[in-house]
Structure 1
Amino acid sequence: MSNLLKILLIEDDAIEVMKLNRAITSLELKHQIIEANNGEEALEILKKKEILPDIILLDLNMPKINGIEFLGILKEDDTLKYIPTIILTTSNNQKDLLSCYKIGVAGYVLKPLKYEEYVSKIESLLSYWSINELIKV
């Protein structure tokens, strides 16, 4: 039995947001998606601590606060640091990958160009996290 997830998607590209929502709909998944357009907006959502997500899907290349800066801020918070954060990015830069794992990311997923491959990756990613035992922060 898999659990429904509350997912905070931090993504500044509207097309990528639509693509994730479309993939979740086509997979007939009922996960709740909370959208933030950048790291600052995400921090405002998380600061309220009323509705905390089960997982965070984070893009690296964003204005204001980039993904790596956001991760650093998240990991300094005694409550928020336990939320699994998965990088969902086009960056296959090894420096980015290493930086993210040093900070404590839960996963690093490259967005494929083909939509079918993207849907497959999203299905696998969400399937894994929906059966994983998560800390309720």
Structure 2
Amino acid sequence: MINNLAVEVLLVEDNPDDAELTIRVLKKHNLANNLVHVHDGEEALDFLFGQESNNLPKLILLDLKMPKVDGIEVLRKIKKDDQKKIIPVVVLTSSKEERDVIESYQLGVNAYVVKPVEFEKFVDAVTQLGLFWLLLNEPPH
């Protein structure tokens, strides 16, 4: 059972390899001691909207291209909700499509990162995201 009171990161990722690597990198650097991984947008919405407002994650890492409910729709619902819109959302996706970048920012995404294809660059990108959003960034309380 997940201790939702301490959730630091909600990882919304349908690619098992990308999810495993992201989780390993964050845990290696002690950046996500309590990380919840969901496999699609539908699971993400169920998790987020089934929680009390004080049980929400400190950061959402969101893929865009997923089955059932895509990341754009998840982002739209998060940013329309008064309690959840303050959660930092970082799109971490393979999509370089300009329309995805523009729509994500129009909906209020906090950052848009294209997943590097090379292993070392992917590790570095995830490490930097974790360091910034979980240690340096000062969220509202």
**CA-CA distance at 1:78 after TM superposition:** 1.0
* Cα shift at 1:24: 2.1
The range that moved more, 43-52 or 120-129, is 43-52
Alignment partners' CA distance in 1, 2:75 and 2:32: 27
1:90 paired residue number:
94
What root-mean-square deviation, in Å, do the aligned CA atoms of Structure 1 and Structure 2 show? 1.6
Amino acid at match of 1:56: I
Structure 2 residue ranges without an equivalent (≥5): 1-5
* Runs of 5+ unmatched residues, structure 1: none
Letter in 2 for 1:24: L
The reply on whether 1:103 has 2:107 as its aligned counterpart is: yes
Aligned length: 133
Structure-to-structure mapping, 1:8-19, within 5 angstroms: 8-19=10-21
TM-score (norm 2): 0.87
The question of whether the paired residues in 1 share the 8 Å contact of 2:26 and 2:130 is answered with no
- Identical residues among aligned pairs (%): 38
- Native 8 Å contact 2:91 2:113 kept in 1: yes
**Normalising by structure 1, what TM-score?**
0.89
2:26 is equivalent to residue 21 of structure 1: no
Q: Which amino acid is 1:55 matched to? A: L
